[in-house]
Amino acid sequence: MNSDRLKNISDNQCKSVAKKLIQMKILICVKQVPEITDIKINPETGTLIREGVDSILNPFCEYAVEKALELKEKNDNAETVAISMGPPQAKSVLMRCLEMGIDRAILLADRKFAGADTWATALTIARAIKAIEGNFDLILVGKQAIDGDTAQVGPELSEILGIPQIMYCTNLDLTSNKKKVRGTREIETGKETLEAKLPCLISVSMGPMIRRIPSLNEILDARKKPFKIITSSDIDTDESEIGLKGSLTQVIKVFPPQLKKQGIIIQDSEPADAAKKMIEFLRERNFV
């Protein structure tokens, strides 16, 4: 065999190994949810009617994926891994992540995981991350799922893993030495920016207004990216800690939130204009 060629191969291999070693690893935890416009609750049983309802990637999780891809572009092609726990059908939302540009995906699918509350979910994911991925630099999650609205799995996950967390970020970036992350979050009085050491968990509350559209090539390529399905036997855990048995809370009743009508803020700088608008508003409703 040609020795030069051999040398080239080993050089390339060395480079790729070295790259892997210094490459940043970002994990994105995502959830499958029913499409919100279709949510209906069976009045008799109090459960969600899932018949004919499409399952989609939770929009806030999609924001987290967007942020991960942004970081990937800015930081020497960081490796991005999407993780989800759910039934085998949840594969479709991980596929959406891969189509958007995530490098590989892991699905935790096992009957024993079923019925998990937020705590059991966070614990299972934490164990899986430790067992399968080991080290990582950043975990991104969506601020909450649009079906349950609990916003608990992210914070619980960071507690279990013992890493810092910054919640409800609208923007984030790494510091120049890439040892820390800065997250900007909206709070009631304005904005605040927090800094945390890596590894760290960040929940994302805002993303692009317009959802990304992959090319046909990206959709076809996504189906060839690494996709791992993991069961309870792959992670170090006791049956009493996971699924329904490991859940500390229980859903007693599900009901749709009462819709509140959105108010209107009149923002005209001229008080006279603002007053006019207000009067108009009241007139339309026959208050004056």
Q: Which residues pair with 108 in a beta bridge?
A: 85, 230
Decide whether 197 or 223 has the Cβ nearer to another protein. 223
Our finding on whether 228 is near another protein (CB under 8 A) is no
* CA dist list (Å): 3 to 9, 10, 105: 10, 11, 37
Work out which of 21, 216, 248, 252 binds another protein, going by CB under 8 A. 216
92 binds another protein (CB under 8 A): yes
Under rule CB under 8 A, residue 73 binds another protein: no
Does 252 interact with another protein (rule: CB under 8 A)? no
Task: Determine the 3-state secondary structure of 134 from DSSP.
Answer: coil
Residue 125 identity (one-letter amino acid): I
Coil, helix or strand at residue 44? coil
How far apart are the C-alpha atoms of 114 and 209, rounded to whole Å? Answer: 34
Selected binder of another protein within 215, 250, 267, 269 (CB under 8 A): 215
- C-alpha 103/C-alpha 96 separation (Å) is 12
Element (H, E) at 62: helix 59-74
Binding range to another protein, per CB under 8 A, among 142-150, 199-207, 213-221, 246-254: 213-221
Judged by CB under 8 A, the chain residues 13 through 72 that form the site for another protein are 35, 51-52, 54, 56
Q: Which is nearer to another protein, 15 or 211 (CB)?
A: 211
Binding site for another protein (CB under 8 A): 35, 51-52, 54, 56, 92, 95-96, 209-220, 223-224
